[in-house]
Structure 1
């Protein structure tokens, strides 16, 4: 199912590098807003930098796949030297696939992490990579994301996941 995440976890910051290595993951592709960085609070950038360092030490590359424009994404990520793809047009899988191929990685070596079923999880699943749904870092959203959140509630209902999705500190099958 294109909206069903392979895994869930409460936050991207609890990804365990040992588990990722056991799964054969060489790159973690992540959404930016409300996944790596609270969309309205830049203080979470220190956690993002720490995650990037932890992953790099384990030989895993962090790449941001964002629908935001390059100027907005670069402003946040350039100081931390985190690679990104802007204007990715998620839920279309093309940005994920193109970046994965440019890195010489197979589908099984890449994990897409995000807080939205309609954009992040759908794009990851369509690209054939592992998908991980996280709880949004903050409970508020930009105006355009609120529409997606409404649609997500409907999708959760039809998938029968309304009360079944649990977010723990470790990866859990979705």
Structure 2
């Protein structure tokens, strides 16, 4: 299958952060099925990223895996730049990367707190700031949240994660 004008995202270029597995991989698959060229980031799942590229590259669109830790603002900015370089631009940004530490609040380290805020909140801002320079009319920025941003189903362990998801909401 090559780019087809009958596919709703034919000719569009997308970047999905945290796209190698789980919800992110599902988003990447859907964008590709709808005709978009897609770059996606992964932090440590190189095998999963390579498998996803191999699976989807047969669809006639370009699929690129970019190693980038979303806690590192420079890596997020570089991923946007590399997407523009490899795909010729970016029309769709999907902020999907996210992490959770399930430690009770009283035992959560400051380092774990800082990492959750960096990945779940700051990286969203950094990616949007870098991408809007390239997104033209008709482009989209989508940020994946969580129902836990509104309500947490357990008494302990998710409060900081919930705070970060409420922040992006």
TM-score (norm 2): 0.44
**Greater RCO (CA < 8 Å, at least 6 residues apart):** 1
Instruction: Give the alignment's TM-score, normalised by structure 1.
Output: 0.43
Larger-Rg structure: 2
